[in-house]
Amino acid sequence: MKKSPLPLQNASGASKNQKLGKEALVKLLRWHFGHPEFRGKQLEAIEAVLSGRDCFCLMPTGGGKSMCYQIPALAKKTGIVLVVCPLIALMENQVMALKEKGIAAEYLSSTQTTQVKKKIHEDLDSGKPSLRLLYVTPELIATPGFMTKLTKIHSRGLLNLIAIDEAHCISSWGHDFRPSYRKLSSLRSHLPGVPTLALTATAVPKVQKDVIESLRLQNPLVLKSSFNRSNIYYEVRYKDLLHNVYADLSDVLKSSGDICAIVYCLERTMCDYLSVHLSQNGISCAAYHAGLNDKLRSSVLDDWISSKIQVVVATVAFGMGIDRKDVRIVCHFNIPKSMEGFYQESGRAGRDQLPSRSLLYYGIEDCKRMKFILSNAENKKSKASNSQEELSKKSLTDFQQMVEYCEGSGCRRKKILENFGEKVPVTLCSKTCDACKHPNLVAKYLEELATACIVRQKAGSSRIFVGSSSNKVNEDQSSEFWNRDDEASCSEEDISDSDDDVADLVAVKSLTRSKLIDEKLEALQRAEEKYYQNKSDKQTDKLNKNAISDTLREASKQRLENAVKQAQQRLGNLKIEVEKSASFLENECYKKYGKTGKSFYYSQVASTVRWLSTVNSTDLTDRLCPITSSPSENTPLKTAPSASQSPLVETGPFATLSPLVDRATEITGNDLHESVRLEASVALSPTQSDSPSTILPAIPSFSEFINSKKVTDNRSSASEKQSPNGVEKNPEKKMRLR
Ligand SMILES: Nc1ncnc2c1ncn2[C@@H]1O[C@H](COP(=O)(O)OP(=O)(O)OP(=O)(O)O)[C@@H](O)[C@H]1O
Ligand SMILES: [Mg+2]
């Protein structure tokens, strides 16, 4: 609906130079926005800036901060209010909403056509701009050309106010630091005397101080409202105690009716997967993340704003400035990295002040993963500088507060508010969080969770980050997630995309593609971890359990003796000392794998037995040469059975695989074991000896195994491709690979 401007003199009964009184301001509010009264500290902020005073305004999410500069823009007959916004999407939304109300507002960004930009500049250059509000990015402010323009406008007395929205972005202590905001500190020197209004919903004391100092606010009026969002019910559910977390979320959304919701995930892949899952369960939803192209993203946003879809499953890219008032549920499917982020995101619920819900799914694995990400960032940044190191440490402390929010039994609301330095009366929550409403149940869950943790630790079932190459690759992205360092060099167009997520940050394989293979790999990773965990955790145990006993050595010697005897008979009673030979061969196995443990040792004995069953007389005599020429065990050998040399290579040395694979069997069953065993037998590379005398098969690490498997797979498929008329060159091998 278009409205003509409210005649200010009539509204206030004031002359040109007089300040508007409260009544006149309320009239403006009602006329333009249809709200009956100012909320919270809106009026105080408006009056302060209209009187020319700087103001720092801390209001909760959805508290109505925009009004604090929109009303002043309408209260002055001439001149403009300059609004600095971190995101183009945010500017677009606000400008569109203002235009719908008939208020002359524009934004300048490279997404605008040249024609539109030209029109805006012409208006600004005119003696009396018709514009009331001009939204810009911090990057544009930093350009000399635009600063010159602002200086000109200011010199003509037409710059009424500078409003810095989401002002916490200026502080590297804030959860959403944007280096481009730092450039705003030059505004004061270029545009002296213009009142500045800094607005934020999330600023702990340290950030508040930083914002005020960085923007060089002069004797500002500091307005702080409570962070309490009384209309939001806070709840945590424990993934590890749920039978099926996906089904649980589905149920929550379905049972809430056709409501509007946001589900936040840590990774893009999870957004895609969850969105598909929810859709399949009849929930109208779509994924939103920085991995989608601009067109798709804005169409998802449009569909959600216009209620065509009810649920958006998003990364943090679905962020600031999303102003749909009737969001009833904000769900965090993964634990957020800080209380500030959590507060901002959950605060997108219930901006209409109606009862709404924040639901966080807490999982032990998620928690470990986030800790890993943050520690990684810490390690990386501690190399950079001391202040960076301090920041990184802060990130872990911040995260710990989130963990306490989930793992503590006390009032959730209290925890949020105390995090922002507020003193909370006991009566404040009045059963508007799960911990206050169902204390016994929450206590029971926490107990069960603690038990689950212990069981997990005992089982060594952590899936967190086996040294996979993808970690390395993705390290760089963590900085983007962390504090958007790279934004300093971003062009204006990049801004909306810079609100990126940690997509691909962690080595989560595609859930939709090759799920089966991933599950197998995960099982192997778990098995390997389990193996190494057992190894480190139970050193003493290991020594006992994994130690090669004399009895085992004796038994192996006996086994080898039998094998030597059979070889001797097969080769026409070859002249060899059976017992001595067996002893020599056993000793070789022990020298190589005695320290590694009995499974490896046992594998080597088995492979030697197999080698003996087919060896020819020359090879055998050569092999036993040291004992025929010298009885010393240390005499170098000429040859030895190895993976590459043995005629039994494909089934020989690895007929019994490493403990890793043995353990994988325990977890995944025989199918996996079998397939891995067969694949490994093909894929393993020729072994190298650590001494020139003994050439024995190396036991591959999991990563080596995977890499060699990939190479073999590639080679195999390449050779198949090369094969004319689709005739398989190596059907046997292919069969094994299957
Ligand atoms: N005085 C008021 N009375 C009723 N509703 C209001 C009032 N002031 C603002 N609102 C409404 O409250 C909602 C939130 O306002 P706004 O977007 O300005 O909040 P915000 O504080 O900037 O939130 P965020 O921190 O999420 O950016 C808007 O829909 C707005 O129309
Ligand atoms: Mg806002």
- Packing angle of the helix pair 67-75, 42-50 (nearest 10 deg): 40
| Strand segments (E) across 481-630 | none
**Whether the Cβ atoms of residue 258 and residue 306 lie closer than 8 Å to each other:** no
Q: Poorest-confidence range of 179-188, 204-213, 405-414, 457-466?
A: 457-466
Model confidence over 146-159: pLDDT tens digits?
999 999 999 999 99
Mean pLDDT of 522-547: 54
For residues 536 and 639, the model is more confident at: 536
The CATH code belonging to domain 232-432 is 3.40.50.300
Sorting pLDDT into bands at 50, 70 and 90, what band is 266? Answer: very high
Ligand 1, residue 347: give the atom nearest the CA: 26
Express as a percent the part of the chain with pLDDT over 70: 67
Separation of alpha carbons 738 and 736, rounded Å: 5
Does 710 score more than 90 pLDDT? no
CA of 386 to the centre of ligand 2 (A): 33
Q: What is the pLDDT of residue 20?
A: 79
Ligand nearest to the CA of 71: 1
Pocket test for ligand 1, best of 35, 90, 169, 499 (most atoms within 8 A of CB): 35
- Packing angle of the helix pair 386-407, 339-346 (nearest 10 deg): 60
Mean pLDDT of 359-374: 92
Q: What is the pLDDT of residue 231?
A: 96
CA of 597 to the centre of ligand 1 (A): 67
Q: What is the pLDDT of residue 321?
A: 61
Distances 506 to 372, 501, 678 between C-alpha atoms, Å: 9, 11, 29
CA of 63 to the centre of ligand 1 (A): 5
Query: The domain at 22-224 falls in which architecture?
Result: 3-Layer(aba) Sandwich (3.40)
Ligand 1, residue 38: give the atom nearest the CA: 1
Model confidence over 563-573: pLDDT tens digits?
888 888 888 88
Q: What is the pLDDT of residue 443?
A: 95
Ligand 1, residue 59: give the atom nearest the CA: 21
Express as a percent the part of the chain with pLDDT over 90: 41
| Strand segments (E) across 166-300 | 196-200, 221-224, 232-238, 260-264, 285-288
Paired tokens of 404: 């306490």
Long-range contacts of 96-99 (CB under 8 A, 24+ apart): 97/323, 98/70, 98/133
Model confidence over 674-684: pLDDT tens digits?
333 323 332 33
Ligand 1, residue 323: give the atom nearest the CA: 17
CA of 42 to the centre of ligand 1 (A): 10
Mean pLDDT of 659-675: 30
CA of 59 to the centre of ligand 2 (A): 9
Q: What is the pLDDT of residue 462?
A: 41
Does 40 score more than 60 pLDDT? yes
Q: What is the pLDDT of residue 653?
A: 26
Q: Where in the chain is the domain with CATH 3.40.50.300?
A: 22-224, 232-432
Most confident stretch, 15-19, 239-243, 643-647, 653-657: 239-243
Q: What is the pLDDT of residue 61?
A: 82
CA of 403 to the centre of ligand 1 (A): 30
**Whether the Cβ atoms of residue 485 and residue 380 lie closer than 8 Å to each other:** no
Pocket test for ligand 1, best of 29, 33, 228 (most atoms within 8 A of CB): 33
Separation of alpha carbons 421 and 414, rounded Å: 10
Alpha-carbon Rg for the chain in angstroms: 34
Question: Which residue puts its alpha carbon closest to atom 12 of ligand 1?
Answer: 64
Ligand nearest to the CA of 91: 2
| Exposure letters 161-184 (e unless 16+ CB within 10 A, then b) | bbbbbbbbbbbbbbbbbbbbbbbb
Q: Which residues line ligand 1 (CB under 6 A)?
A: 35, 38-39, 42, 59, 61-67, 201, 323, 325, 351
pTM for the full model? 0.59
Pocket test for ligand 1, best of 67, 69, 316 (most atoms within 8 A of CB): 67
Burial class (CB in 10 A: 0-12, 13-18, 19+), 123: middle
| Strands of 327-332's sheet in order across | 232-238, 356-362, 327-332, 260-264, 311-314, 285-288
Separation of alpha carbons 8 and 102, rounded Å: 16
**Whether the Cβ atoms of residue 623 and residue 640 lie closer than 8 Å to each other:** yes
Candidates 14, 125, 34, 119; CA nearest to 76 is 14
Ligand 1, residue 63: give the atom nearest the CA: 21
ipTM over 0.85: yes
Q: What is the pLDDT of residue 38?
A: 97
> Which protein residues have a CB closer than 5 Å to ligand 2 (ion)?
65
| Sign of the Cα pseudo-torsion (293, 295, 299, 305, in order) | positive
Mean pLDDT of 56-77: 93
CA of 163 to the centre of ligand 2 (A): 11
For residues 152 and 111, the model is more confident at: 152
Ligand nearest to the CA of 58: 1
Q: What is the pLDDT of residue 249?
A: 97
Q: What is the pLDDT of residue 557?
A: 87
CA of 163 to the centre of ligand 1 (A): 15
For residues 546 and 296, the model is more confident at: 296
Model confidence over 566-613: pLDDT tens digits?
888 888 888 888 999 999 999 988 888 777 777 777 778 888 888 888
Ligand nearest to the CA of 340: 1
Mean of per-residue pLDDT scores for the chain: 75
Does 34 score more than 60 pLDDT? yes
Ligand nearest to the CA of 165: 2
Does 642 score more than 70 pLDDT? no
Q: What is the pLDDT of residue 655?
A: 28
Does 353 score more than 80 pLDDT? yes
Q: What is the pLDDT of residue 102?
A: 96
Candidates 646, 637, 643; CA nearest to 658 is 643
Q: What is the pLDDT of residue 151?
A: 95
